[in-house]
Structure formats: structure tokens, C-alpha cells
Amino acid sequence: MKESNMKFTTLKFAVGIVLLAELATPFLLVAQKTSYKLIDIGTLGGPSAHGPGNGQGSQLINNAGVVAGEADTSIPCNGANCPIGHGFRWENGVLTDLGALPGGNLSAASAINARGWIVGFSQTVELDPVLDVPAGHAVLWNDNQPIDLGTLDTGVQSEANYLDNGGTVVGMSTIDTTFDPFACIGPFCSPTHAFIWKNGVMQDLGTLGGPDSFIFFGGGCNIQRSYLVAGSSYTDGIKIPATGFPTQHAFLWQNGKMTDVPTLGGTYAFAECANNQGQVMGQSNLTGDPGCDGISPQFSCDEHAFLWDHGTLTDLGTLGGTFSLANWIDNTGEVVGGATTPGDQAFHATLWKNAVITDLGTLDGDCFSQAWAINSKGQIVGQSFNCDTGNFRTVLWDKGSIFDLSIASTEPLNINDKGEISGVYLPAGCQNSDLCSHAFVLVPCNSAGVQGCDIIVQPNPAAIATRAATTAADAQRTKNYVARLRTRLAQRYHGSGLGAPQH
């Protein structure tokens, strides 16, 4: 009996030690400095590199460290000083120009999967009669050669936005060459439908009752399951006077069925990403809000991020302001992005966990920040902006601390499960992202003495404290930044802001 009690006491002590160690680990980690190796991927011979063709939520680095992106080549554009951009693949120090379809010039990469397959679009020799411009087709690169995925029906424009690990490609395509005033988004000015492509077959996903359905931004973030699609669709063809567009809802398409994901009471909603659990995140305007029309110089819409989970729609809210933006969802349902503080005086990076919002703050002295992506370890990558210098700094939030990674990033950022970070940055001496930006990878150094690990960063727990804009100039810069976010969303999801042709 005494021996049994002793064993039980010893077991409790051992378990206690393990629990204490587990509890102490995060605090030990945040107390330690870490280091990174910066790999400058550069460009394809032209002046600049660029972000993903379809914006945030795009998987551009996989867990093997293979990177996809777009960069300028040395090919001139009609003899003028406007270099042609191509998609690229970077792996183990080798940068490969993915080229374009025969007869085409431009191409861009939008996403990469675990196999290293890349999707995007490429110009073709075909002409879009509606816009009188070269048409572009969705492409898949699985051996560095572009495979033309074609279009739906008699359409001429298509693009691939993401693909899962099984090789299912998701995108959108025009279905004919008539003019559609509700579908003018970039080169898409004809009736447009979402599609999936698998083994040479393109399937039309249809709509929620309106004329068009769309796939925007990443659409799937780091999705791994086949036949799981998040997008948006008009629910009818009736123009709302305040916006000039029909009612628009998000959707989840799964197993051949398109499920309506409603708005937060407003006239439009759109899905940005879905995860492997079938949870959908996106944006919506609110009850009583007229909506952003994409034309007005002042965007007064109240727009919130949302999470839809198998029939339950949750308003993810803000930090006290009128606007929030979701950029990424992981496979546990954690969402990262940004939100405004009371009076829309500041915009801070945010984490939503179980629908509870956490202000991730900024680097000390900065006035706003944004979170772009989160990996399976809960590491969040984003940017912090300094109102005094006018510079964005790449940052990592990890276990309650914020790390300044010492580079000025210009585009949405990615982070894989090894903590490797990819994006576009301004090298030393570069002040203009259109003239000299480069693609990069930051590789964390897990052991001392690794050659090239020259970026050493210290955790800064104190910088997590909320900092509102303290001067009128700071407040105006923040408002301008939020206005640009609103404008970008309005233009992306409401086509008239892109200068659609008047018919």
C-alpha cells in the first residue's frame, strides 16, 4: 500500500513537472531571440517582382519551401519600357520562368499545392471581342510547362485561382462573349461562372440564381480537400439602385451542391477562403448599409469579416470601429486579418479564435498593422506600418510576442508550417515597388552557426499594447490606408470601379 501511494505520488509529481514544462515553454520561447536567413529570389530579368495574381489568401509557398509568384522579365512590352511579367517557380535556389501559352505574352502564378503544382493564367493569341484585348486562360504548371485549361462553353476568358493537393483546380471563366454589366471585373466583362477542373474536364458550378458567380482572392487558402469551393454569386439579376449591382451572397460548393452563405444583413457578401472543415470566411456589409459602389470617392460602407460554419453565420466584428478584413483561415477555424479601433482611428492586425477577436497590435511606435496568414503552429505573419517613416515592416506574431523581421514587404505574405515566409520586399536602396522590388524567402535558423543567418530578431512583448493614432497626421494616414482597403475590395467585387466599357 505504501509502495502504491509512493508510485502514485511520484506519478503526480512527474505529471506536474511535464505540465509545468509545457506551460513554461511559450514563455521560454518568447524570451529567446531567433534568426533568419534572407534569400533574395530576385526577378526574371526585369525590374520588379509582384504578388499573387489573385491577392491575399493565396498559397504561394508550400511546406517543402517551393515558392510560386510573378516577376518582370527582360522582354519589352511593344518596344516600350513596360516589361512583360511571367509566373515563376523557385526551388532550392533555382528560379524557373514558367513562360506563357503559345502566342501569349503575360502570365501569372496564383497558388501552389503540396506537390509543387502551380496554377494561374496566361495570355493567349485569342482576342476578347467585348474588350478588344488579348484573352487569358487558366493554366496549370505541373512540370514547368503551362497546360491550357480552356474556358466554359463559348467563353474566351478564364483564370485559375487555387488548387488542392489532389490536383483539382478552382477558378472562374466567361461562358460566352456577350456583354454583362454585372460581371466587369478586370478582363471579365461577359457572363462569368465559377468552375472546377480535374483531369482535363472543366465543370461549371452554376450560380445562386443570378447571372454570375465568382472565385476571388485565394478562395481556398491552404485547402487540401477535393471538391470544396468558396466563392460568391449574384442571387438574382435585379440591380440595387444604391450599388448598381444585384444582391450578392457567398457560397460553399461541395459534392455537387452550391450552398448559399447569406450576408450580415446587407446587400452583398463574398467568400475569401474555406478550410478543410468546410468553414468559410469572408466579408459582408451590414443591415441598413447602402454598400460600396466602387465609384464614389468616399466609401461609407460598414463592412465586417464573417465566419460561416455549417449553417451558422458569425459576425467577427471589429476592434470598436466600422470595418474589419479577414485574410486567412487555418484548418482549426482561426482567422487573421485586421480591424479598425473606435472612431476608425487605427487599423490593427487581428486574430479571431472561437469568434473572439484579439488585437495583435503593432511594432512599438507604429500606427497600424495587418495580419496576412497563419500556419498550423499559430505563427502569424503580417506588416506593421510606421507613420513617421512611411515604411511597412514585415513582422511575425508568435506566442504573445511580435518580431520585427527587418525587411520592408510590399505585398501579401505567406508562411508555411516550417515558419518559412515568402513575399515581395524592397531591397536596400529601393524606394519604389514598381521599379526594384524582389521576391524573397525568409528561412528560420533552428541551430546556431548556420551560414547566412544574419537577420537576428528579438521578441517585443511590450509592442503588443494597443496604440491608437496619436496625431492628426497619423489618424489621416490610417484613414487613407483603410480607404484603400475598402476601395480595393469594392473594385475587386464590384466591377464598375474598374472602368468597364459603357454599352
Number of other residues whose CB lies within 10 A of the CB of residue 115 = 14
- What's the pLDDT at 465? 47
In contact, 185 and 492? CB cutoff 8 Å: yes
pLDDT band per the 50, 70, 90 thresholds, residue 128: very high
Kindly report the pTM of this predicted structure: 0.87
Answer left, alpha or beta for residue 344, where phi above 0 means left and psi between -120 and 50 means alpha.
left
- What's the pLDDT at 75? 87
- What's the pLDDT at 193? 97
Between 45 and 33, where is the model more confident? 45
Between 475 and 144, where is the model more confident? 144
- What's the pLDDT at 310? 95
Closest CA to 415 of 391, 399, 396: 396
Q: Which helix (H) or strand (E) holds 212?
A: none
CA distances from 290 to 30, 185, 286, 491 (A): 45, 20, 9, 16
- What's the pLDDT at 269? 93
**Tens digit of each residue's pLDDT (9 = 90 or more) over 169-183:** 999 999 999 999 898
CA angle 50, 219, 496 (to 5 degrees): 75
HSE of 377 in the Cβ direction (CA atoms, 13 Å)?
15
CA distances from 72 to 50, 137, 349, 361, 436 (A): 8, 19, 30, 34, 10
Residue 293: pLDDT over 50? no
Mean of pLDDT values over 202-209: 98
Q: How far apart are CA 466 and CA 364, in angstroms?
A: 10
Average pLDDT, the chain: 83
Mean of pLDDT values over 262-291: 89
Q: How far apart are CA 445 and CA 452, in angstroms?
A: 9
**CATH architecture for the domain at 32-498:** 7 Propeller (2.130)
Q: Which helix (H) or strand (E) holds 368?
A: strand 368-374
Residue 321: pLDDT over 60? yes
The length of the chain in residues reads 503
Residue 298: pLDDT over 80? no
Q: How is the chain split into domains, by residue range? A: 32-498
Q: How far apart are CA 405 and CA 429, in angstroms?
A: 18
Between 405 and 220, where is the model more confident? 405
Strand boundaries in 310-367, DSSP class E = 312-315, 324-329, 335-340, 347-353, 356-361
In contact, 416 and 61? CB cutoff 8 Å: yes
Residue 463: pLDDT over 70? no
Place of cell 478562395: 219
Q: Which of 156-170, 258-272, 438-452 has the lowest mean pLDDT?
A: 438-452
Q: Which of 24-28, 101-105, 122-126, 208-212 has the lowest mean pLDDT?
A: 24-28
Give pairs for 91-97: CB < 8 Å, separation 24+. Answer: 91/64, 91/65, 91/66, 91/67, 91/116, 92/65, 93/39, 95/41, 95/42, 95/44, 96/144, 97/44, 97/73
